[in-house]
Amino acid sequence: MTTQIAGYHAHVYYDAKTKEAASLVRDGVGQEFPAAELGRWRDEPVGPHPMPSYQIAFTPDLFGTLVPWLATNRRGLTIFVHTETGDHIPDHTDYAMWMGSMPELDLDALR
CB-side neighbour CA atoms (13 Å) of 19: 9
Decide: 79 and 103 in contact? Cβ < 8 Å: no
Using CA atoms, how far apart are residues 12 and 22, in angstroms rounded to an integer?
7
User: Which runs of E-coded beta strand occur in 14-111?
Assistant: 37-38, 53-58, 79-84, 96-99
Whole-model pTM?
0.95
Using CA atoms, how far apart are residues 24 and 104, in angstroms rounded to an integer?
25
Q: Where are the domains of the chain?
A: 7-103
Residue 80 has pLDDT above 70, yes or no: yes
Residue 2 has pLDDT above 80, yes or no: no
Fold entry, domain 7-103 = Alpha-Beta Plaits (3.30.70)
CB-side neighbour CA atoms (13 Å) of 22: 24
Q: Residue 111 — very low, low, confident or very high, per pLDDT cuts 50/70/90?
A: confident
pLDDT digits (tens, 9 = 90+) for 13-70: 999 999 999 999 999 999 999 999 999 999 999 999 999 999 999 999 999 999 999 9
Q: Residue 1 — very low, low, confident or very high, per pLDDT cuts 50/70/90?
A: low
